[in-house]
Chains A and B, each alone.
Chain A
Amino acid sequence: MVKKAQVKIQQTAFMLIALTLFFVLVGLFFLSFKLSGLREKATLLDEKNALILSSKIANYPEFSCEEAYDSKRVNCIDADKLIVFMNFKPKYSSFLEISSLELRKIYPKQTSEIICNSSNYPDCNYFKIFSGENSGPDYTSFVSLCRKEIYSGAIYNKCELAKIIVSYKIK
């Protein structure tokens, strides 16, 4: 009789353990499903952010022309400011919440790609401002890239066409 009772208790215990395990597994599955959804939502928000930033970044005071080139211009990047900004990059590393930020001169067309630095500026056509890992798709917008030039001792404004490329970090 005692043995029969022990078997019954064991049966109930096993049943309960199996039931608990089943619910735990279902819970874990549900949680992992929800978490992947959250990650997707976060990536979607970052994507939206990068999309808006690509059209807005030219108006950040760190890059924008302001009134340095006669009148106030929208979507105008000051190349002189940009080359100086390269020295301040570490300070701004977490400022924009993006993975990479690049700027390419597209007109007048140049045959080879020359990455800009303080020694070759302005004879270059590619500004690598931030370059991070795990970058998502690129979002681009067109801007005018202006700088001061000297010709026969006189200073004039030179503006070219450039493309700004922004990408976000994949989570």
Chain B
Amino acid sequence: MRTPGRRWRVTLHGWLMVLPAMALLALFTHWPALATLIDSFWSTRRPRRPPVFVGLDNYRSMLADPVFWKSIVNNLWFALGTIPLSMGLALLMAIWVNDRIAGRAIVRMAYFTPTVLPMIAVANIWLFFYTPQIGLLEQVLAKFGAPAHNWLGTPDTALACVIVVAIWKEAGFFMIFYLAALQQIPPTLAEAAALEGSSRWTFFRRVQFPLLMPTTLFVLINAVINAFRTVDHIVVMTRGGPDNATTLLLYYIYEVGFKFWDTTYAAALTMVLLGLLAAVALVQYLLLERRIHYR
């Protein structure tokens, strides 16, 4: 008699405590995700033209939309440009800062500071850095006799400039995870390896790097997600231009949704982004599963 009553009470208490958070999640995460899917099958409401069910029309026009493809290709290049470089730099920074180099507290601070700044402040600073003629980059290059170049205004170089900014902002953030992981490696491993006479590179490759794998995985997942969800610097530095050379997927969604006000087409585009994020989640889940089995 008592046990069912107690169980019922635990369930009631549990749900009461979870409810406020769940309600907000339902309203601002679950429902909008579902509504995105539904809306993507409808036409956008216009003055004197109520929305009608159009089936896959939005997706068809998406496949025929060169700017959509451009934004996907740009985003993939952006991810490919930022992720390996920022992770590699982060690991290098962590290894340096982990050793007892002179003034390592200052060095660590220098690496980490960009992480604390708002992305839009970072973008403003770099915008000035890249400015034609008066920007620092152009001034330095002019000293070496390089011809003038509009770095952000030329389709060939604009995306690379934006990639550099993202790396600068992110590397220090990833560094702290590598640093924490390096400090967890027992020093006895290094002593043992040194007694065996292995070189520092061998020690890194055979001991440190494998032990850092979980961290690398964690950082990688974060880096991939960031590459698809951060567009603040695009808004400030290039607005997707010149000639859509720096339009990333989320920026294109923002443009379609809030400049052209074609909300259902924006919903179809959002579905692609959600699909990409779901794929990342799936990969993460599978990798984590495997790691658990290996233990």
The judgment on whether A and B are partners is no
